[in-house]
Amino acid sequence: MIAPKPEISAIVVCFNEEENIRACLESLKWCDEIVVVDSFSTDRTVEICREYTDRVIQRPWAGYRDQKAFAHSQATKDWVFLVDADERVPAALREEIQDALQGVGTRYAAFLVPRLVRYLGRWWWRGGWYPDYDVRVFRRELATWGGADPHERILISGKARRLKHPLQHFSYRDIADHLERINHFTNVSSGELEAQGRRWSAMDNVCRPPFRFFRSYVWKRGFLEGFPGFFVAATAAIYVFLKYAKLRERELKEQNGSGSG
């Protein structure tokens, strides 16, 4: 007897993603359910989402981890597929997921999916951005959320297997957008470090950035991409430098604030 086809819910968290959301949802039409959690977008994001699903929920932004955990809680199918608004699911990955779920039985609780970034007119197979495996397909009842913003992660009760074909990630529109996101995410990550009780050390700003540059440009062969590879390695180092510099800034503000009371 043929086993019934496992059903899957796609979940997408978004805010002001009218440039990306249509392509994202178009690539998810094969899923049995699409759940979108929107943080009260002011552009056409919600209007576009409603062309693809009636499960569009608006909720104030609660942080990356909590917002995605909420979207997970709204899914109703046995399997969940987490996709970001700036990602797309190519046909090869769709077919691989469908095949994997059809024969999965109870062997696996999740599947890890690689991501392939499109930026500066090329696909980034080198420089440290690929394969960037992450749990993206998982059994709804066997997953919880951990990690810290902006590096939230899915915790699985059971075994996981890697898939071969990548999600396509259109992470940055251009260099200006890239730099804006670096500023935003270093604000978030430095705040999380502070919340965890992490204290700044000069070594964080002296040693970590050059190591990150070396990892991206040399170890992960970013130099083979020419100047774009150098740029990506440099911005990776800048990200690390700013994260810890902002942690130090937070400490100084706290000291000055407590000293003025």
**pLDDT tens digits along 34-79:** 999 999 999 999 999 999 999 999 999 999 999 999 999 999 999 9
pTM summary value:
0.90
State whether 155 and 200 are in the same domain: no
> Which residue segment(s) compose the domain that 125 sits in?
8-169
Q: Are residues 20 and 137 in the same domain?
A: yes
| Domain final residue, candidates 169, 197, 227 | 169
Same domain, 126 and 246: no
Number of domains in the chain: 2
Contacts of 74 (CB under 8 A, 6+ apart): 11, 35, 37, 55, 57
Residue given tokens 């043929």 in the structure block: 2
pLDDT digits 0-9 by tens, 154-177: 999 999 999 999 999 999 999 999
CA dihedral 138, 144, 147, 150 (to 10 degrees): 60
Examine the domain organization and report whether 56 and 146 are in the same domain.
yes
* 152 occurs within a structural domain: yes
Q: What angle is formed at CA 116 by the lines to CA 213 and CA 41, rounded to 5 degrees? A: 100
Question: Are 115 and 156 members of one domain?
Answer: yes
Task: Kindly state whether residue 260 falls inside one of the protein's structural domains.
Answer: no
Take residue 91 and report the two structure tokens written for it.
């046909």
As a whole number of angstroms, the distance between CA 24 and CA 117 comes to 14
**Domain co-membership, 103 together with 224:** no
Q: What is the CATH number of the domain that holds 71?
A: 3.90.550.10
Considering the domain boundaries, does residue 239 fall inside one? yes
Q: Which amino acid appears at position 92 of this protein?
A: A
Query: 161 by DSSP, 3-state: which?
Result: strand
Sign, Cα dihedral of 82, 89, 112, 158: positive
